[in-house]
Structure 1
Amino acid sequence: MITIIELFAIATSVLAFGMALWLYTWVKAQPAGNKKLEDIGAYIQQGANTFLKREYSILSRFAGVIAILILLFIPTPIWKGSMQNIVMAVSFLIGATFSALAGKVGIQVATIANRKAAAASQTGIKFAFLAGFRGGAVMGMAVVGTSLLGVTAVFMITGDATAILGFSFGASSLALFAKAGGGIFTKTADISADLVGKVELGIPEDDPRNPAVIADNVGDNVGDVAGMGADLFDSNVASMAAALVMALYLDGSASTDNVAIVFCYAALGLLASIIGVGTARMGKLGNPNHALSSSTYATTALYVIFTAVATLVLDFSWRIWAAAIIGLGVGTIIGIASDYFTNDEKHPVHHVAKASETGPAFTILGGVSYGLLSVLPAMAGIAVAALAAYLVCAPLGPGYAMFGISMAAVGMLSIVGMIISNDAYGPIVDNARGLVEMGGLGERALRITDSLDSAGNTVKAVTKGFAIAAAGLTVIALLGAFMAEVNDAARALGMGEQFLSGFDLMNPLVFFGLLIGAAIPAVFSAMLILGVERNAQRMISEIHRQFLTIKGLKEGQEGVVPQYDRCIDIATIGALKELIPAGLMAIIVTLLVGFIGGVQAIGGFLTGNIVSGLLLALFMSNSGGLWDNTKKYIESGKFGGRGCDAHKAAVVGDTVGDPFKDTAGPSINTQITVVSLISSLMSSVFLTASLF
């Protein structure tokens, strides 16, 4: 049965690629806009591809060094005759390559879809919405199809869950740096454009006179499309890897129902997403928020039905099915909670907008307070999902409780194809709105793209909350996978059948690891935000220089064009310079804790890292989303509208929120995944070569 299900998973992946190709063809066939629109769009595409090429050039060298280290030392020194090292190194490189490929596909279609959505806004909202959503859906289908195909193929060839961890580590490592680099690039340009354009000069958001506007649009693609795609690719692969490690640990065989259920449920989630994407339409109300929500709920319902039928027909455990559905349900609830704190139709945004009339200090205080409040429902949701899945599956036997948590993570990420489609829609329509303004397509087109962009901001906040929550469950499952890997290594070394059954907080080694692990997300975030600050300072100086030295630029004289490429270069060079240190810091500290305190200290380290990382990620993501929509709410005419004191205060809040929600916040969950995977891969080394 397992072989048939693996073949079904591969067939579903191929179907997803077919769907992606059809969507790409549809988007590309849509009418083009005027020449000015095409020229600006081509400039954005060129900038995004140039950044990606330079970033991947650096990351390929980094991946090569890591692959050599894996070949030499993981899971055991190669001179001890371990062929598994070669499998691990190759799996790592395949994971990194697939992750990079998913980001490249996303950039390619997003930089075409933005032009098509802008051009379609001249005729109406329906086709403008479809161009944006279907462009994003290409990314969704490519990312999930690639992740499912990669995991299935590696597992079929090796039958080894540790090789899957290597594949996942490759995906996570590249995602960590891609998300950090893209986030630094996009927020450098966004902050600089807003502070000089909106606050100092009072010109519109996407005014072509501003030298940073093209870099800002490039950043939307490299940060929110390629970066978020790599992030969710990593989470999806990591959830399957953790579940497969525990499935094999439970039964000791690759041909079991537990392994089969992981592939079956993951494939059915992709199938539900394919159908959901294919049926997404703008309804009679012409409300993009409603269209995005209804297609997501339809996908969720399809997944519940598909997995229930599969469980009945294939005689899987209903308890494991319940754990997956618990994860999916809690993911939906966390998305709704994120929506409440960030949606411009809800009280928190209205409250902070009103407070902005009194000055930026109250904008900041309100956003911070609501961001902190938003942490509780999400953290409680993750805790309830983990506890419920644990209790539901515990009666199945020893080890099944943690397997239940891993299946809750698989369930939560089951509709990730639809989630990525929604998420990538956001930056596409954001770009489209800028293109409409820069291309002079008129007020009607601007109103339509403003409506699409507002829905994109809301859905981005929801998907970021979902991604962080999914990472939370995934890394709890990876903690279980770490214990399983340690126990396997201990058994092989004759150290007992159940070397680790938990982590005692009164053990000083565990507590040592806990405190260090809890500090890492804060330091990691600070390094990324400081990177954005340093880079933005450089770009603001460049914008000032251009406005002072290029005659007629500030006045908007005909034929006077800013030097857009200078700002793109500053964002690119700065992002590539800043992206490596923060990621390396997290990796090096993990290794130090493992070599000093061994597996007990690593258990504490991972626990502290998970708890503080989730708290900080949720806080920053929701605060940033709230400040962004507060600014847009005031720009819609509330509390004085554009240019008033409340608007200037809201722009300051949005500037603070930009690196929160698009650089540090969403990068933390990838950081947690990376250190969890390193810990599992190094488990046998930490078991035998630690100081204490």
Structure 2
Amino acid sequence: MTIMSGNAVGMISSGLPVITVAIALLISFWLGEQFAGLIPALTGNAFLGGVYGTTMATMGMLSTAGIVLTMDGLGPIVDNAGGIAEMSGAPEIIRERIEPLDALGNTTKALTKGYAMGSAALASLLLFQAFVLEVARYQAKIIDLTTITSAQATLLGTKLSSLGTSLALNHPDVVIGALIGAMLPFVFSGTAINAVSIGAYRMVEEVRRQLREIPGLREGTAKPNYAAAVDISTRTALRLMVVPGAIPVVAPLVVGVFLGWAAVGALVVGATISAIPLAIMMMWGGAAMDNAKKYVEMGHFGGKNTETHAATVVGDTVGDPWKDTAGPSLHILIKLLNTISLVFIPLFLAAIIIL
């Protein structure tokens, strides 16, 4: 029931943030279109005005990064304070006072991770628009946009208009690219969570080994080998992140080489659309499951050492990889997909298009 409820909370929680981001995009783009004539550099182009408006909205959202980083730092500080209190054998009343702060830290971390995902969504739209503009620039053979002539500007506008038909959904390469892009956040999240699972298993094996081999450890008269546990977690984290790290690099290159730039553009859009609600679901659902355990440990529903507490521990085991590993890393995925796609445009324009 804990996992089911956590899933439900995460899924429902994705609704309002996604709608908020969509409204922010709509209003910023519309305002940019309406006031494009006030900025001489835009030469009255409504589309470029919309892009400019979205840019300003993104900058405005990022301007609050200071308070967001402060909120994000609260969680680890309180969490470490709780760990120090437990390891030092502090009185129970100190731990009881830290628990509510730990729950607050989980909540603020979930909110700041949602902020990161929202800013990534706005940034990915700008990067996609830059991707389309760069494709048009390469096709028009314009080397430097800062020294563009009026004739080149007209040609660039014509190329931009014609690119819209290449990205239409009636092209199979675009549909294939969008499907692959929508799949990537799920595969990426799955490999990241699997890495956590493998690391946890190795850690459990190390704990069992130390309990078996270190005399007096079970009785509490000897200290465990902390360095070995830290070494296992560090090595596992570094080695098992190779596959998730390769996904956003390899996927656009393979799709671009065989299906062309339009499929890569669709891949980026598909990945962004599926990553935003998935990330919010995992971050907020995971935080809900973690806080459910803390709520029971504060004495509610029977408190510790009950079946209810055991159920919330299972939920917390599922929620931690969601909120701390897979969810927050998805905004890096979509940013990296956009960046790789933008850098390798010349390769995609010379692609072996099989459709």
Q: Fold-level match, TM-score > 0.5?
A: yes
Tell whether the 8 Å contact from 2:10 to 2:282 is kept in structure 1 after alignment: yes
Q: What is aligned with 1:392?
A: 31
- What corresponds to 2:73 in structure 1? 424
Equivalent pair of 2:21/2:118 in contact (CA under 8 Å): yes
Q: How far off its partner does 1:682 sit? A: 1.6
AA aligned opposite 1:521: P
Partner of 2:39: none
Q: Give the partner amino acid of 1:475.
A: S
Distance 2:77 2:141 in 1: 52
Following TM superposition, by how much is the alpha carbon of 1:592 offset from its aligned partner in structure 2, in angstroms? 0.9
In structure 1, runs of 5+ residues without a counterpart are 1-361
In structure 1, how many angstroms separate the alpha carbons of the residues matched to 2:125 and 2:23? 13
- What letter is aligned with 1:623? G
CA–CA separation in structure 1 for the residues paired with 2:322 and 2:291: 14
Equivalent-residue separation in structure 1 for 2:110 and 2:194 (angstroms): 23
Q: Distance in 1 between matches of 2:218 and 2:293?
A: 24
Q: Distance in 2 between matches of 1:609 and 1:690?
A: 23
1:540 corresponds in structure 2 to 204
The answer to whether the aligner puts 1:592 opposite 2:254 as a matched pair is yes
Is the contact made by 2:96 and 2:298 (CA closer than 8 Å) also made in structure 1? no
Question: What amino acid is the match of 1:516?
Answer: I
- Residue from 165, 184, 194 that aligns with 1:520: 184
Which residue of the partner structure matches residue 148 of structure 2? none
Q: Which runs of 4+ in 1 moved over 4 A?
A: 493-496
Q: Could you tell me which of 177, 195, 211 is aligned with 1:531?
A: 195
Any residues of structure 2 matched to 1:25-44 within 5 Å, and which? Answer: none
Letter aligned with residue 667 of structure 1: S
Q: Give the secondary structure class of the aligned counterpart of 2:14.
A: helix
Give the drift of 1:444.
4.1
1-structure distance, mates of 2:30, 2:264? 25
1:370 is the counterpart of 2:13: no
Residue 156 of structure 2 aligns to a residue whose secondary structure is coil
2:342 maps to which of 668, 680, 692? 680
2:238 alignment partner in structure 1: 576
Among candidates 72, 80, 101, match of residue 452 of structure 1: 101
CA contact (8 A) 2:2 2:315 kept: yes
User: Which residues in structure 2 correspond to 1:140-289 (within 5 Å)?
Assistant: none
Instruction: Tell me if the contact between 1:624 and 1:658 (Cα under 8 Å) persists in the aligned partners.
Output: yes
* Correspondent of 2:213 among 549, 555, 561: 549
**In 2, distance between residues paired with 1:677 and 1:626?**
33
Separation (CA, whole Å) in 1 of partners of 2:156 and 2:86: 66
Match among 483, 497, 500 for residue 156 of structure 2: 497
- Separation in 1, partners of 2:323, 2:92: 30
Deviation at residue 582 of structure 1 after TM alignment: 1.2
* 1:633 is the counterpart of 2:295: yes
Report the TM-score, using the length of structure 1 for normalisation: 0.46
Question: Per-residue CA shift, 1:415-458, capped at 9, x if unaligned?
Answer: 11221121122111210111122123333432333333222111
Aligned counterpart in structure 2 of residue 462 of structure 1, from 89, 111, 120: 111
Give the whole-Å Cα distance in 2 for the aligned partners of 1:655 and 1:663. 12
Cα deviation 1:590-626 (Å, max 9, x = unaligned): 1111112222111111110101111211111111111
Q: Distance in 2 between matches of 1:522 and 1:366?
A: 21
Paired with 1:409 and 1:690, the residues of 2 have a C-alpha distance of 36
Q: Is the 8 A contact 2:260 2:349 kept in 1?
A: yes
1:33-68 Cα shifts (integer Å, max 9, x gaps) = xxxxxxxxxxxxxxxxxxxxxxxxxxxxxxxxxxxx
Higher relative contact order (CA 8 A, sep 6+): 2
Alpha-carbon distance between aligned partners in 2 of 1:571 and 1:492, rounded to the nearest angstrom = 50
Whether the 8 Å contact between 1:627 and 1:653 is mirrored in structure 2 is: yes
Question: What TM-score results when the alignment is normalised by the length of structure 2?
Answer: 0.88
Deviation at 1:690, TM superposition (A): 4.3
Q: 1:455 is matched by which residue type in structure 2?
A: L
Equivalence for 2:120: 471
Residue matched to 1:148: none
Contact 2:99 2:294 survives alignment (8 Å): no
Which amino acid in structure 2 is aligned with residue 497 of structure 1? Answer: L
Identity of aligned residues (%): 39
Change in Cα spacing, 1:629 to 1:417, as seen in structure 2 (3 Å) is same
C-alpha displacement of 1:408: 1.5
- Matched residue pairs, number? 329
Q: Give 1:424-443 correspondences, 5 Å limit.
A: 424-443=73-92
Question: 2:180 and 2:351 mapped to 1: Cα distance?
Answer: 20
Separation in 2, partners of 1:645, 1:550 = 32
Asked if the contact 1:403–1:477 (Cα under 8 Å) also holds between the matched residues in 2, the reply is: no
After superposition, give the CA deviation of every residue in 1:337-361 in whole Å (9 maximum; x if it has no partner). Answer: xxxxxxxxxxxxxxxxxxxxxxxxx
CA distance in 2, matches of 1:587, 1:576: 17
Q: Which amino acid aligns with 1:412?
A: M
Write the distance in 2 (CA, Å) between the matches of 1:540 and 1:496: 63
Q: Is the 1:487–1:500 contact (alpha carbons within 8 Å) kept by the matching residues of 2?
A: yes
Q: Distance in 2 between matches of 1:638 and 1:449?
A: 16
Amino acid at match of 2:307: D
